[in-house]
Amino acid sequence: MLKKRPLAVILIIVGIGIFSISWAADPIKIGMPAPLTGPYAHDGLVCKQSLGFVVDAINAAGGVLGRPLEIVPYDVEDVMPEKVMASAQDLVMGKKVDMVITTWVDYGVDVKAYGRYDVPYFSGAASSLSIQAYMEDPEKYWNFFEFEPSEECYATWDKMMALPYQYPNKKVYIINEDDHWSHVIADAYEKHAQDAGWEVVGKETVSVGNVEWGGSLTKIRSTDPAIIMMITLSPKAEAAFVNQFATNPTQSLLHFPYTPSAPEFKEMAGKNGEGVMWNQCVAIIPGPEQEEFKKKYIARYGEQYWSITYPAAMWDMVHFWKEAVEAVGKVNDYRAIAKYINTHTYKGLCGVFEFPPATNTVVNGPDRCPPVFFQIQGGQDVLLFPEDRSQGKFVLPAWIKQ
């Protein structure tokens, strides 16, 4: 019996050790609500790719607090409010996630859905409604962080005016989809134009996903604007517009915020998309670290989506959260994690992230996360602004006569 006791003790110690290792290896669950199916599935796909990319990289480097990360998806389909509310209930209460991140899942409803709980919630919706929802009760919704500023930042009239180009007139035509996000951008663009002394010769709202542009083009050709600005969330709709526009183009520069960043636009528009301008409020900026990220992302997923906001921004957000968790020392001390994010900055692929508690929304600016402005040239997105990071010069589109 005496000889067997050391073995029994050893087995007990080994058993405790195995239990401890198993407990330490329990994954930290990250909730991912996203439109994985339905009309916005392209945003769901980039969300899935972006989060998968950063989670795999962190796990390969040892995880967070010695624990691996595990993605828990939830398909919000057409992002109706009831599905957003259900996603919060399922992910937080059901699946017990410790952090939630998404491209976007509705505007404002998401803040209130996830604000019922304490788990940090990161959104890239670029929505004034989400920010307004947070500001209604910051003490209640302190776990919300918006890593894209308000959608008004897409109305970059100043960059259109900074182009080395002599406009033939001061007329602009504005088209937007019938949703709050698009209306805000279109209204801001209209105000900027009018403040600059330009005439808004047309401003129309179209149904989501519209691909028949005959009526709009008739109005455009009758007014011959120097700028056509269109804001939709449909690459197919915008590609259909430029293809129909190209059959009898006006002397107009085309400015389509955000959506031409999607590869579907370039594929469907082809040569007719050459010369289109587009912009983002937060995006990967040029640099050695960014080039390395780009190479690895493209090696895994191809050219698709790497230049959209989300791959780099979600990489930065998950790493910022990781830094906060490791500084706090516990993944479930959500208040302390949020406080760390509010009181620190994080230098990432998109610039320097700062979340002031007044809005819990990322700060735009040259010394923070600079907005970026591109022109499609040779099938590639060429960065024109900010000038200190530009990758090329403005090229006059082929349809413009000199």
In this predicted structure, which of 136-150, 230-244, 303-317 has the lowest mean pLDDT? 303-317
pLDDT digits (tens, 9 = 90+) for 156-195: 999 999 999 999 999 999 999 998 889 999 999 999 999 9
Separation of alpha carbons 51 and 46, rounded Å: 8
Contact 291, 313 (CB under 8 A): no
Q: What is the pLDDT of residue 2?
A: 37
Q: With bands split at pLDDT 50, 70 and 90, how would you rate the model's confidence at 108?
A: confident
How crowded is residue 40: how many other Cβ atoms within 10 Å of its Cβ? 21
The confidence band for 19, taking pLDDT boundaries of 50, 70 and 90, is very low
**What is the token pair recorded at 51?**
């989060």
pLDDT tens, 332-361? 999 999 999 999 999 999 999 999 999 999
Residue 202 φ then ψ, to 5°: -165, 140
Q: Is the pLDDT of residue 227 over 90?
A: yes
Of 378, 309, 311, 354, the C-alpha closest to 154 is: 309
Q: E strands, 87-154, where?
A: 99-102, 121-123, 144-146
Q: What is the pLDDT of residue 263?
A: 82
Residue 11 has pLDDT above 70, yes or no: no
Residue 7 has pLDDT above 60, yes or no: no
Smallest CA-to-CA distance from 331 within 63, 54, 101 is with 63
How many residues in the chain? 402
pLDDT tops 90 at residue 17: no
C-alpha span between 333 and 114 (Å, rounded): 16
Question: What are the tens digits of pLDDT across the range 377-391?
Answer: 999 899 999 998 888
Tell me how far apart the alpha carbons of residues 314 and 351 are, in angstroms, rounded to a whole number: 13
**What distance in Å separates the CA atoms of residue 73 and residue 87, rounded to the nearest whole number?**
9
Task: Give per-residue pLDDT as tens, 24-81.
Answer: 579 999 999 999 998 788 889 999 999 999 999 999 999 999 999 999 999 999 889 9
What the block records as the tokens of 265 is 């636009």
Calculate the alpha carbon distances from 131 to 83, 88, 291 in Å: 20, 18, 32
Q: Give me 253's structure tokens.
A: 């520069």
Residues whose CB is less than 8 angstroms from the CB of residue 170 and which lie 6 or more positions away in sequence, other chains included: 196, 197, 198, 199, 226
Task: Find the angle CA(306)-CA(311)-CA(316) to the nearest 5 degrees.
Answer: 140
Lowest-pLDDT range of 16-20, 146-150, 377-381:
16-20
Give mean pLDDT, residues 227-242: 94
Report the alpha-carbon angle 110-113-117, nearest 5: 125
Q: Identify the helix (H) or strand (E) that includes residue 113.
A: helix 109-114
314, 101 contact by CB (below 8 A): yes
Question: Residue 211 CB: number of other CB atoms within 10 A?
Answer: 14
pLDDT mean over 265-292: 93
3-state secondary structure 371-397: CEEEEEECCEEEEEECHHHCCCCCCCC
Find, among 267, 259, 152, the residue nearest to 209 by Cα: 259
CB 127 within 8 Å of CB 104: yes
Question: What stretch(es) of the chain map to CATH 3.40.50.2300?
Answer: 28-149+287-353, 153-280+371-389
Q: Is 363 helix (H, G, I), strand (E, B) or coil?
A: coil
The rounded percent of the chain whose pLDDT value lies above 70 is 94
Q: Which token pair is 34?
A: 């996203």
Beta strands in 222-350 (DSSP E): 227-231, 253-255, 277-280, 346-348
* 314 pLDDT above the threshold of 90: yes
CATH number of 153-280+371-389: 3.40.50.2300
Tokens (6 digits) for 123: 């959104």
- CATH number for the domain whose boundaries are 28-149+287-353: 3.40.50.2300
So what's the pLDDT on residue 23?
36
Bridge partners, 230 (sequence order): 175
What is the secondary structure of 8-59 as a DSSP string?
A: HHHHHHHHHHHHHHHHHTPPEEEEEEE--SSTTHHHHHHHHHHHHHHHHHHH
| CA gap 87, 113 in Å, rounded | 8
- Predicted local confidence at residue 106, as pLDDT: 82
Closest listed residue to residue 141, CA positions, set 334, 289, 368, 346: 334
Which residues are within 8 A (CB) of 12 and not within 5 positions of it... i.e. 6 or more apart? Answer: none
Banded model confidence at residue 262, pLDDT cuts 50, 70, 90: confident
